[in-house]
Amino acid sequence: MNQNTRAAALIALSLGAGLAGYGVVVEAGQTATPTPASTATQQANATTAQNLPLDDQADFEDAERGLIARDPNLVITDADGNTVWDMTAYDFIEGDAPDTVNPSLWRQAQLNDLHGLYKVTDRIYQLRGYDLSNMSLIEGDSGWIVVDPLTTAETAAAGWRMAKAHILGDKPIVAVIFTHSHIDHFGGIEGVLSAEHAQRDNVRIIAPKGFMQESTSENLLAGPAMGRRATYMFGGALARSPRGHVDSGLGKAPSKGHFSILAPTDVIDHTGQTLTVDGLEFDFQYAPESEAPAELTFYLPQLKAFCGAELVSHTLHNIYTLRGAKVRDALKWSDYIDEALQRYGRRADVVFNSHHWPVWGHDRIVDYLKIQRDTYKYIHDQTLRLANAGYTPREIAEQLILPESLAKPFHNRGYYGTISHDSKAVYQWYFGWFDGNPANLDPLPPADAAKKYVAFMGGTDAVIEKAQQSYDAGEYRWAAEVLNHVVFAEPDNDAAKALLAKTYDQLGYRAQSGPWRDVYLTGAKELREGAQGTSLDMSRGIGLLRQVPIERFFDAMAARLNGPEAATSNLTINFDFQDRGENHVLTIENGVLHHWKRPPADNANATVRLTHPALLALIGGQLSPQQLKVDGDRASLGRFFSLLEAPDRGFAIVTP
């Protein structure tokens, strides 16, 4: 690879970090067959079913209420014919739960399978089951207000076509509301509204303060690792089957199309801020640093309807997400739900959210908001009570149980988040990674420790034999712990990997949480087949990357610098963006990359002259790297880029 080609490749990989799983393409499928449910797993799932009020059909009635139209063969493709969304892949989810799926998760999967165009109340409609999230449509006096246009343009466009066929008429889009800064709530905007259309027709774009910064920069630095872990969390490589992926709890799964963003024209920065949009009054709640760094909810007094965004849903949510992200503030989250309850909940006749189905009726709404509010506060307060009594994160997670009043409602069960990992998140929020035990202050790395554990336990054969006994006894958590040591001590030991894969199968089959199931089953798949290679289609996210500040690109580049190799290098490079009239000076010294937006450095080793569109074209592969103009010492530029590492998007997780 010549230096120009390497430069372009490294720039692309640096920027691609921000896609964090949404630009990562993993083809679902199974080449090795997962094991059947063991007798112990069959019994555990049967007991779960016996203890569930499965005759309670209220959620199914709510999820089907107001149905206008449904496409029973909903498959959405992109312009090249690639499938970006396929609800028919879940046709197997019907009837009673198979013994390889937790019956509670199976019920949630059945509910999330109900898709189509729904009427929520007068002038409010939702498209559900067209993506991981919902798109809501509110009818103004002269046009439509779109709320959260899904993850990708293809799914949003398909939903819009369905609505156009049944309710939209000739009324235009007059406004868009982005409730928060997660991509499944704004990424599909160009499927319903282009930037040119928005500017031409003065379409209002309403979003919370900090929306653009958070939505374009979230996960940029840690994106490769997050993207890899997201394939575990959402089961992207798993077959859709009773022994594979069935649901994500929050919805089915993220879609795989193209995504973009539009900058807001109206910013919500305080609770009680009101806007009149096409004849409708919107009373906003500003809720930053809750479920998302930038988030809002709103109440429509004329319609007595409250949009809870993602503050509330029909699952216990994540205080920490398994793909990796900054921990969320459980106390603040609870406080925002309480504020919404006090301001709007007691007046609302319906609550509709960014995921799942609505809740109707004053008393039910109050109860719903109270239970979700109290759950996050209970997890927060009781985690701290136990931490202050000296318990460590794993000990707290093992003994923290919700009161029956909070644990029983289906909308509050751990289909996405769990009490276990949410309580650990609260601990992390206050105390960080160290539990206080000196033995955990500087332990050996996993592979080094594993070799010693296996030796202390009598050697590989002895450990596998004992692990098999634990497996046969249904002690899967313990079997997984000891077999993980064997695999990390001897990564080529096929017997250990096979038994650990079987163990992960059983843990996945029992899991109520969709992400837990997918993590276990993906781990099992990779033990059998090896790490799953992923590709990154940068063209899918160019619309979003256009909005990323150039400074953030260079932050991501700095996180790719191989510090030890760069320790003795002293380099200065100018990046001259000629269309913007701005220059960025990058230096490498002491193994650290710094960058500043300032006039060109006279002592620069080289100057790269380009435009912002050219940079995006390089990322998307539409521009040849040879078209970059470079002044100065090309060898120094080559050295600069040789110090940047391409992220490994298929790094090992279940093996060393």
pLDDT at 441 > cutoff 60: yes
Comparing 30-44, 108-122, 134-148, 264-278, which segment has the lowest mean pLDDT?
Answer: 30-44
Q: What is the pLDDT of residues 404-414, one digit of tens each?
A: 999 999 999 99
Q: Which residues of 608-644 are buried (b: 16+ CB within 10 A; e: fewer)?
A: bebeeebbbbbbbeebebeebebeebeebbbbbbbbb
Q: What's the confidence (pLDDT) of residue 6?
A: 54
CA–CA gap between residue 648 and residue 645 (Å, rounded):
9
pLDDT higher than 90, residue 622: no
Q: What are phi and psi of 116, to 5 degrees?
A: 145, -165
Residue 40 has pLDDT above 50, yes or no: yes
Across 81-105, b (16+ Cβ under 10 Å) vs e yields: eeebbbbebbeebeeebbbbbbbbb
470-494 residue pLDDT tens:
999 999 999 999 999 999 999 999 9
User: Among 124-128, 248-252, 543-547, whose mean pLDDT is lowest?
Assistant: 543-547
pLDDT band at 28; cut points 50, 70, 90: low
Rounded mean pLDDT of 211-237?
92
DSSP 567-591: TT--EEEEEEETTTTEEEEEEEETT
Average pLDDT over residues 372-397: 99
* pLDDT tens, position by position, 326-352: 999 999 999 999 999 999 998 999 999
**616 touches 542 (CB < 8 A):** yes
Predicted local confidence at residue 27, as pLDDT = 58
Instruction: Please give the Cα distance from 485 to 154 (Å, whole number).
Output: 44
Reading the block at residue 503, the tokens are 């163990």
pLDDT in tens, 556-611: 999 999 999 999 999 999 999 999 999 999 999 999 999 999 999 999 999 999 99
Least confident range from 26-40, 157-171, 456-470, 625-639: namely 26-40
**Selection from 244, 332, 254, 253 nearest residue 288 by Cα:** 332
Q: Which CATH class is domain 60-380?
A: alpha beta
Where do the structural domains in the chain lie, given as residue ranges?
Answer: 60-380, 549-643
**pLDDT value for 79:** 96
**Mean pLDDT for the chain overall:** 95
* Whole-number percent of the chain with pLDDT over 90: 89
pLDDT band at 398 (very low <50, low <70, confident <90, very high): very high
* Res. 3: pLDDT tops 90: no
Q: What angle do CA 449, 450, 455 make, to 5 degrees?
A: 100
pTM: 0.96
- Percentage of residues in the chain having pLDDT higher than 70: 94
Half-sphere exposure of 16 (CA within 13 A, CB side): 29
Residue 113 has pLDDT above 80, yes or no: yes
CA distance 71 to 74: 5
| Cα 501 from Cα 483, distance rounded (Å) | 10
- Report the pLDDT averaged over residues 627-649: 92
The confidence score (pLDDT) of residue 9 equals 57
Determine the pLDDT at residue 10. 56
DSSP percent split of the chain into helix, strand, coil, nearest 5 = 45, 15, 40
CATH of 549-643, picked from 3.40.50.1950, 3.30.1050.10, 3.40.930.10, 3.40.50.150, is 3.30.1050.10
Tell me what pLDDT residue 16 has: 47
Residue 219 pLDDT: 74
DSSP H helices, 234-361, are 330-340
